[in-house]
């Protein structure tokens, strides 16, 4: 089945730094999504990307849908302590196939 | 708050037992998805229901079953339980009206099998 490779697995940064993480896939997706999960909580949707090449921002977060449809990245600018958590990418084929395929996650730690 | 509710929050039980996890989707959402999250497998899709009917199946074991009721809430049944079933179980809901479909996740049920 499809697999998503998400990197890095973990990051430890200083408050104020920018962060970048990415996902690559062995096959195409028609929708890419980025979620954040806090301990003991469910994933929360951050950004959804619906078109190859699309660049979308949500506050300090920016994500792009790769033109090959096999990759996506998420940038966080000027990190703050509440950015701590696990970030997941997810791909969706769409059409009649709505299941999400998730990456393994990036654990982000922000040092105040 | 995503608008998706799940009960119970925590469940501790023994091998061989049966448990039922409950999910209520966001108002207006017709589709419910179940996912399992474990340390070794990550987040894995189990099954999807749309307006009461099974729509798609993922890595769901034969010991697990699910259904979606006329009021659109869904239940995931696990029986007989094994140690390896210990995990977080998430429900997500969406409109699923066609094309791209954004899913919103509930807070999850943490299942511990002793």
pLDDT at B70 over 90: yes
Where in A1-112 does DSSP place strands (E)?
A: 4-7, 10-14, 19-25, 31-37, 44-49, 55-58, 61-65, 71-76, 85-94, 97-102, 106-111
A1 band by pLDDT with thresholds 50, 70 and 90:
low
Q: Return the pLDDT at B43.
A: 92
In this prediction, what percent of chain B has a pLDDT beyond 90?
Answer: 82
Please judge whether B31 and A98 are an interchain contact, meaning their C-beta atoms are less than 8 angstroms apart: yes
When pLDDT is averaged across residues B40-47 and rounded to a whole number, the result is 90
pLDDT at B41 over 90: no
Interface test with B, best of A49, A98, A103 (most B CBs within 10 A): A98
Please judge whether B35 and A33 are an interchain contact, meaning their C-beta atoms are less than 8 angstroms apart: no
In this prediction, what percent of chain B has a pLDDT beyond 70?
Answer: 96
């Amino acid at each position: 089945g499809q697999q998503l490779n998400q990197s890095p697995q973990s990051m430890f940064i200083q408050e104020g730094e920018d962060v970048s993480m990415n996902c690559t896939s062995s096959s195409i997706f028609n929708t890419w999504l980025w979620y954040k999960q806090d301990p003991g909580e469910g994933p929360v949707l951050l950004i959804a990307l619906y078109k190859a090449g699309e660049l979308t921002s949500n506050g300090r977060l920016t994500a792009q849908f790769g033109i090959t449809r096999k990759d996506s990245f998420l940038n966080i600018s000027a990190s703050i302590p509440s950015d701590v958590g696990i970030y997941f990418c997810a791909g969706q084929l769409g059409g009649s196939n709505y299941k999400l395929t998730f990456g393994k996650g990036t654990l982000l730690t922000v040092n105040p | 708050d995503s608008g998706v509710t799940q009960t119970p929050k925590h469940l501790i039980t023994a091998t061989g037992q049966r448990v039922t996890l409950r999910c209520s989707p966001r108002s207006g959402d017709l589709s419910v998805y179940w996912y399992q999250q474990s340390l070794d497998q990550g987040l894995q899709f189990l099954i999807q229901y749309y307006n009461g009917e099974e729509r798609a199946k993922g890595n769901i074991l034969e010991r697990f079953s699910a259904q979606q009721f006329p009021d659109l809430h869904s239940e995931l049944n696990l029986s007989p339980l094994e140690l390896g079933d210990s995990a977080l179980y998430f429900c997500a809901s969406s409109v699923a009206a066609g094309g791209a479909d954004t899913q919103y996740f509930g807070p999850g049920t943490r299942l511990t099998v002793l």
